[in-house]
Chains A and B, each alone.
Chain A
Amino acid sequence: MTTYTCPEALEISTAADGVPVLLTYKAGSTVTPKTEAEAQILADLCAAGVVSVASSKTPKTKAAAEETE
């Protein structure tokens, strides 16, 4: 799961099944996307330089998890 840092206040307008959705993030906040659509929006904003990655964790495979244990 990737979390993002918002350097400035953001207001995001989008739609889910044709219904308007408004997301707001405060300046300096760290955002963990709650839905796949939100994760996609934040990834696009990261590519555009609007937000930056705060942390990124790749889910471990079962084998890797067992190895760690």
Chain B
Amino acid sequence: MPLQAALAQVGVAKQTAKGTAIANPEYAFGITDGSILTVDVQQEREARTSAYLASTGVNRTGVVAGFDFSCRAHAGSIGLLSFLTLGTDTFATSTHTLTAGTSVNYATIFGKQGSTVYALQDAKVDSLEFSWDGNAPLGVKASGMGTTVNYSTATFTPGTDDTYAVYMRPAGGTFSVDVDGASGTAAVSTITSGTVTLSRNLQEIMVSGTITPADVFEGALDVDVSFDVVIDDWNLWRTIVTGTSAGTTAAAAPTYGTFSCQFTDGTNTLTLAGSRVAFTADVPSADPAGGPLTLSLAGLSVMPLAGGTPFTATLVGGKGSAY
């Protein structure tokens, strides 16, 4: 009898140290796409001459395990995934302020398919992407790598099972993008869809003698955003190109703006925000079929002038203490 594809859950738990896998997930949830575990077996044909016109064998150089799945943003688990990506969580009363740290924590990632459970230890998040379209549920795509997999004795008893929990949606939230911050051009709230991507530029460290990574190591945090905005005039585009809405020449330096996107799930909210974002935008395409002109903004969110986090996620709800 074939294995059932729909009986799948993923779990996440923060480790207290590298090399110390956690026995069970702190949070578990279902996925909307992807797999419960990724294992990249790196091998290629031996390139050596012989008396035959064929390869003499195959060289295996690495087995790198990771995770790559899409899911919903449940208040509890999205807080942990965001924390593992960014590095710092400040908890006060019921609010988590998640910001970029100088290091990130290791995690154990669990994958359960039917009755089979695998657990990946010493994992870090490489990329966390939030995306939405209209009022469809907020989508989350998480990927990363770890060191070794427990293929045989992993267990799956989550502390909090978000599998049947509600999840963040755009409806009832607030959305704003301002291409020049506090300067002349007003912020707009006519965002129809968007993507916010956090990338940790993770690298595996392969040492001679061991086929799996000795460690996975994060790099600088890159924050990329894109928003589709319905426009009433050319002010946004002209401000991006010239520096002001009435500008007449291309600006030599970028104009920095801001964004803030808040999603809700009942009393819980998740706000994604950047305070210094350099936007670009192509001239919107004309369309013989007609319809509202939509500007597709692409932005690079960077540190404030005085230094600090390039991105802040504010979560109201979720865990009752710091992640």
A-facing residues in B1-58 (Cβ within 8 Å): 14-18
B91 x A15 contact (CB < 8 A): no
B167 CB–A CB distance under 8 Å? no
A54 CB–B CB distance under 8 Å? no
Partner of B92, one of A9, A36, A41: A9
A19 x B307 contact (CB < 8 A): no
Which of chain A's residues have a CB closer than 8 A to the CB of B308? 40, 43-44, 47
Of the listed stretches B66-74, B100-108, B158-166, B200-208, name the one at the interface; the rest are far from the partner chain: B100-108
A11 CB–B CB distance under 8 Å? yes
A15 x B90 contact (CB < 8 A): no
B91 to chain A, nearest CB (A): 5
Which of chain B's residues have a CB closer than 8 A to the CB of A17? 103
Which of chain B's residues have a CB closer than 8 A to the CB of A40? 102, 307-308
Of the listed stretches B81-89, B110-118, B138-146, B236-244, name the one at the interface; the rest are far from the partner chain: B81-89
**A11-B321, A13-B91 known; A18 vs B104 contact (CB < 8 Å):** yes
The main secondary structure of chain B at its interface with chain A is loop
Contact string against B for A residues 46-58, beta-carbon threshold 8 Å, 1 for contact and 0 otherwise: 0110100000000
**A13-B83, A40-B307 known; A20 vs B105 contact (CB < 8 Å):** yes
B312 CB–A CB distance under 8 Å? yes
B262 CB–A CB distance under 8 Å? no
B323 x A13 contact (CB < 8 A): yes
B101 x A41 contact (CB < 8 A): yes
B99 x A11 contact (CB < 8 A): no
A29 CB–B CB distance under 8 Å? no
B102 x A48 contact (CB < 8 A): no
Which of chain A's residues have a CB closer than 8 A to the CB of B197? none
CA distance A17 to B17 in the complex (A): 10
B101 x A18 contact (CB < 8 A): no
CA distance A17 to B215 in the complex (A): 12
A12 x B322 contact (CB < 8 A): yes
Most A CB within 10 A of own CB, among B14, B16, B87, B304:
B87
B-facing residues in A24-52 (Cβ within 8 Å): 36-37, 40-41, 43-45, 47-48, 50
Partner of B88, one of A13, A18, A36: A13
A41 x B88 contact (CB < 8 A): yes
**A22-B322, A44-B309, A48-B314 known; A15 vs B92 contact (CB < 8 Å):** no
Which of chain A's residues have a CB closer than 8 A to the CB of B321? 11
B93 CB–A CB distance under 8 Å? yes
B43 to chain A, nearest CB (A): 29
Which of chain A's residues have a CB closer than 8 A to the CB of B99? 41, 44-45, 48
Partner of A12, one of B90, B100, B105, B312: B90
A12 x B89 contact (CB < 8 A): yes
A41 to chain B, nearest CB (A): 6
**A12-B322, A15-B105 known; A20 vs B14 contact (CB < 8 Å):** yes
CA distance A50 to B14 in the complex (A): 25
A46 to chain B, nearest CB (A): 9
A51 to chain B, nearest CB (A): 9
Point out residues on B near A: beta carbons under 8 Å. 14-18, 83, 87-93, 97, 99-106, 275, 304, 306-309, 312, 314, 321-323
10 new A-B pairs (CB below 8 Å) besides A41-B90, A47-B304? A9-B92, A10-B90, A10-B91, A15-B101, A18-B104, A18-B105, A19-B17, A45-B90, A45-B97, A50-B90
Give the 10 A-B residue pairs with the shortest CB-CB distance, closest first: A13-B322, A11-B322, A14-B88, A15-B103, A44-B99, A11-B91, A15-B105, A44-B309, A13-B89, A14-B101
